[in-house]
């Protein structure tokens, strides 16, 4: 399945985010945006939660059994989601989230086996570990 239009430009940005340790800031931005959006985001919230948990587990070092390309695509998809000026700007009522939803659906479908493996790993963890990966990391301020 071909990547959505304009998605490829987010891959190098995702790589920089990972290298510079900016993943916590991205996850907080995703959490803020996903709180809004009303019914249009309701069906996507569990998928976003799974992507966030995977990123937190990777960030904490507790889960590393992910294809690096999958991690990069997930981070790029989350960056696309929070970007207000993507293929269809988010400020356009009724349409602004359509492309975001399409990109996230593509990530979920393309990397479904990686996400399934993470679900199995997550569900096998003790309660403390599950709670730790459900808690977003604190983003450090960059001066």
Q: How far is CA 92 from the centre of its chain?
A: 22
Residue with tokens 């569990």: 46
Per residue in 64-118, pLDDT (tens digit) is 999 999 999 999 999 998 887 655 555 555 556 777 788 889 999 999 999 999 9
pTM of the full predicted structure? Answer: 0.85
Task: Output the pLDDT for position 39.
Answer: 62
Q: Give the model's pLDDT for residue 119.
A: 96
**Tokens found for residue 12:** 């190098």
No. of H helices and E strands in the chain? Answer: 8, 0
Contact 90, 142 (CB under 8 A): no
Tokens of 33: 């945006």
- The domain spans of the chain are 7-134
- Quick one: pLDDT at residue 23? 93
Which residue has better confidence, 37 or 100? 100
């Amino acid at each position: 399945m071909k990547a959505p239009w304009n998605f490829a430009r987010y891959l190098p940005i995702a790589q920089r985010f990972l290298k510079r340790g900016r993943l916590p800031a991205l996850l907080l931005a995703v959490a803020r945006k996903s709180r809004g959006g009303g019914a249009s985001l309701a069906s996507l919230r569990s998928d976003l939660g799974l992507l966030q948990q995977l990123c937190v587990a990777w960030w904490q070092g507790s889960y590393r059994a992910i294809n690096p390309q999958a991690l990069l695509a997930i981070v790029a998809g989350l960056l696309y989601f929070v970007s207000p000026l993507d293929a269809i700007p988010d400020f356009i009522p009724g349409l602004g989230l359509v492309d975001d939803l399409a990109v996230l659906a593509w990530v979920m479908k393309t990397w479904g086996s990686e996400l399934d493996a993470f679900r199995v790993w997550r569900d096998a963890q003790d309660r403390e570990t599950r709670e730790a990966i459900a808690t977003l990391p604190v983003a450090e301020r960059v001066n």
